[in-house]
Structure 1
């Protein structure tokens, strides 16, 4: 149960959502946008956030699109992870989404909610980073398109008045050879130690990671090392480990030392599989 009251709004258009945000902000309501709402509910129950108003984006048609448009895959921010997996228009994204939480939770968790969340895994962003996807963002200044690399650095960096409307991915990435590994300490239960998503495009391997550091990431420096095929794989992996963007985390799932061990093994599996393909 959420231990405080708040106002609820469900606009039917992008323009109306932004207008409501402006008005509620002027009234001192500390408004928040939400798509799936699972994480916001969790934080609110623990008194970690206190919005005076929430703006539900699920009635906005553009946020529910999931189709190919002019050789681009367009996915609305309010599309659930379950719907993504079922449609399977971008197999790597579908497989990654299917590994998030359990089926009941995936029915509620949305693509936008997962990407914009505060929990450090946010795995759904990994295929989008690999595919150099674009994002459509709405705010007081209007609707704009940007590279995901411009707005996602450790987390989705939007202005308070902005929200994610859609992701746009070039169709050529949808059929690229890929691998996805999610390593847990025990079976298929609990948070992961390491998640790696990787694909091969134009004979080059691209990799992205979650669970390793305190944020999901793609490292172009690591990719440069991995694509030096004249160097033995074991040497490449050691070099890649030195280029991680932040310290490897220690948490209830495993120590940094154990996580590094798992990461190295998983890197080897990913590179070997894609180099053979």
Structure 2
């Protein structure tokens, strides 16, 4: 449960934010970086988040960037999902983000909050996995850039105190043929059953998934099978599902069997449409 005596800090620079975090940790505090705050409030009520110090990073200028700079799109960690949708600089990211929760929530949910949160869907990561984006992180060593496949393994592998600043994506990916399909068992909002995003690059399809396993992922082994045009679409899908990199979810949103049924049908729909582009 969230303490009624939470300390609140609003650093003016990345350096100040990092120094605050490490100072508070050294004094036996439990600091959390804060931007939108939706998950902190939601999970705090369920005793799944404990903190006594909030470090507000939403106004750090580096985290507020959303712009095309030369050959790259820079997306700051404090940009809200609504801003991403409205500016629409990265259409696939807009499509994938626009159905996360409802609009009121998206006005507060930030990109960084979605990617670093405990709720396992984290759909906003899918376009960045597909586009080989770079992740900019601040920590003891200053600002560092990591290939996303190096630093994202089920979750962003941040060390204690490290701060997600930006994601950087090459412009060449922005307008590639793409699809993003979110399937819900019922209702128009709330948690999805399954989300699949796809792009087509050099006549090859890439796929990323959320809601299939208890973590979002892109599997190059699955892609190899799905792009093997020597076999039928049905055969390719059947071979690809053997490389799903974890246990398939079986929960209140849908059984394992139902998820597999939806996965096969959705993949078939995406492949038929995307291969025709």
What TM-score comes out, normalization by structure 1 length?
A: 0.97
Q: Tell me the CA shift for residue 123 of structure 1.
A: 0.1
The answer to whether structure 1 residue 221 and structure 2 residue 221 are counterparts is: yes
More off after superposition, 239-248 vs 182-191:
182-191
Query: What is aligned with 1:175?
Result: 175
Residues in 2 aligned to 1:32 and 1:219: alpha-carbon distance in whole angstroms: 31
Query: What is aligned with 1:79?
Result: 79
Deviation sequence 1:118-162 (CA, Å, 0-9, x none): 111100000000000001100122110011111111011101110
Residues in 2 aligned to 1:102 and 1:114: alpha-carbon distance in whole angstroms: 14
Residues in 2 aligned to 1:49 and 1:273: alpha-carbon distance in whole angstroms: 42
Query: What is aligned with 1:65?
Result: 65
Question: What SS does structure 2 have at the residue aligned with 1:84?
Answer: helix
Q: Tell me the CA shift for residue 189 of structure 1.
A: 3.2
Query: What is aligned with 1:198?
Result: 198
Q: Is the 8 A contact 2:2 2:50 kept in 1?
A: no
Deviation sequence 1:22-43 (CA, Å, 0-9, x none): 1111111121112211111112
Superposition map of 1:1-277 within 5 A: 2-277=2-277
Q: Is the 8 A contact 1:126 1:208 kept in 2?
A: yes
More off after superposition, 127-136 vs 40-49:
40-49
Deviation sequence 1:205-224 (CA, Å, 0-9, x none): 00000010100000000001
Question: What SS does structure 1 have at the residue aligned with 2:214?
Answer: coil
Q: Tell me the CA shift for residue 98 of structure 1.
A: 0.0
More off after superposition, 26-35 vs 198-207:
26-35
List alignment gaps of at least 5 residues for structure 2.
Answer: none
Q: Tell me the CA shift for residue 3 of structure 1.
A: 4.5
Residues in 1 aligned to 2:49 and 2:94: alpha-carbon distance in whole angstroms: 31
Residues in 1 aligned to 2:179 and 2:172: alpha-carbon distance in whole angstroms: 16
Q: Tell me the CA shift for residue 190 of structure 1.
A: 2.9
Misfit runs of 4+, over 4 Å: none
List alignment gaps of at least 5 residues for structure 1.
Answer: none
Question: What SS does structure 2 have at the residue aligned with 1:207?
Answer: strand
What TM-score comes out, normalization by structure 2 length?
A: 0.97
Question: What SS does structure 1 have at the residue aligned with 2:243?
Answer: coil
Residues in 2 aligned to 1:114 and 1:10: alpha-carbon distance in whole angstroms: 21
Question: What SS does structure 2 have at the residue aligned with 1:242?
Answer: helix
- Compute the RMSD of aligned alpha carbons: 1.1
Q: Is the 8 A contact 1:13 1:59 kept in 2?
A: no
Q: Tell me the CA shift for residue 187 of structure 1.
A: 4.5
Residues in 1 aligned to 2:186 and 2:28: alpha-carbon distance in whole angstroms: 46
